[in-house]
Amino acid sequence: MAARKVKLLGAWVSPFALRSRIALNLKSVEHEFLEENLGSKSDLLLKSNPVYKKVPVLLHGDRPVCESLIIVEYIDETWTSGPSILPSDPYDRATARFWAYYIDDKFCPSLVGISKAEGPEAKAEAIEQAKTGLELLEKAFKDCSKGGAFFNGDQIGYLDIAFGCCIGWIRATESMHEIKLFDEEKTPGLVGWIERFCAHKAVKDVMHETEKLIEFAKTLLSKPPPTH
């Protein structure tokens, strides 16, 4: 099964598609990245993910796998010759999944909320929520890493990938709103982790460039809102 041709439907701006790209790189899986125009979704995307109609979608031969964290787990279980992505210990694995869910359910919305906030009070509240989330993730890093360089210990793993995909957009948000979310005093572990994560060979060539994200965000914000 692992010998089937691999394609990834994604968008360069998507942090969730980035998860799949990093996982594939980590396992040294040869694949083709197919860029989707999210304003005019391809027939292949609509056919491969008819329920949510969104990226990423991993195509392993003619079999589609949808949802970023599910894709990461599928990659880990399918290509077993590479480094393990999920922790081997059941408790550590459950903990990693918990924090990955927290990132998608709580942290990512708080980050988006900074740009969507209307008025200074709402913006300040959104910033505080994002900072609180990072402080919680700082504690998670200390607990999960067990003194290692990454959430997964001595090598990149599931939670590193789940959170690492947000780095580019966190940096872009900091720059666009002239704020500082990562703090050397309150989140020193994460500050060091970011540098190590972005320098990793599986990450450095696909990590989002902050300036390109800012340019994309400004273009998006300049468009008039839909009328219906």
Q: What does the pLDDT look like over 147-183, one tens digit per residue?
A: 999 999 999 999 999 999 999 999 999 999 999 999 9
Residue 73 and residue 116 in one domain: no
pLDDT of 223: 64
Q: Which domain holds residue 71?
A: 6-78
Residue 118 and residue 188 in one domain: yes
Return the number of other C-beta atoms located less than 10 Å from residue 73's C-beta: 19
Structural domain contains residue 58: yes
Structural domain contains residue 111: yes
Contact in structure between 22 and 60 (CB atoms under 8 Å): no
Structural domain contains residue 222: no
Query: Which residue among 78, 100, 132 closes a domain?
Result: 78
Q: What is the average pLDDT score of the chain?
A: 95
Residue 101 and residue 123 in one domain: yes
Residue 203 and residue 97 in one domain: yes
Query: Which residue among 21, 55, 78 closes a domain?
Result: 78
Residue 194 and residue 124 in one domain: yes
Number of domains in the chain: 2
Structural domain contains residue 227: no
In this model, does residue 38 exceed pLDDT 90?
Answer: no
Query: Which residue among 54, 78, 102 closes a domain?
Result: 78
| Torsion region of 61: left, alpha or beta (phi above 0 gives left; psi -120 to 50 gives alpha) | left
Residue 204 and residue 184 in one domain: yes
pLDDT, mean of residues 215-220: 89
Listed in sequence order, the residues at least 6 apart from 199 whose beta carbon sits closer than 8 Å to its beta carbon are none
In angstroms, what CA-CA distances link 189 with 95, 142, 145, 181, 196? 18, 7, 10, 13, 11
In this model, does residue 228 exceed pLDDT 80?
Answer: no
Residue 74 and residue 96 in one domain: no
Residue 98 and residue 209 in one domain: yes
Residue 101 and residue 206 in one domain: yes
Structural domain contains residue 83: no
Residue 103 and residue 58 in one domain: no
Q: If pLDDT is split at 50, 70 and 90, which confidence band does 136 have?
A: very high
Residue 160 and residue 125 in one domain: yes
pLDDT per position as a tens digit, 64-78: 999 999 999 999 999
Q: pTM, whole model, 2 decimals?
A: 0.94
In this model, does residue 47 exceed pLDDT 80?
Answer: yes
Q: If pLDDT is split at 50, 70 and 90, which confidence band does 4 have?
A: confident
Structural domain contains residue 97: yes
Of 14, 22, 33, nearest in space to 150 by CA: 22
Residue 104 and residue 128 in one domain: yes
pLDDT, mean of residues 178-199: 97
For residue 187, the domain's CATH number is: 1.20.1050.10
In this model, does residue 226 exceed pLDDT 60?
Answer: no
Of 102, 221, 220, 121, nearest in space to 166 by CA: 102
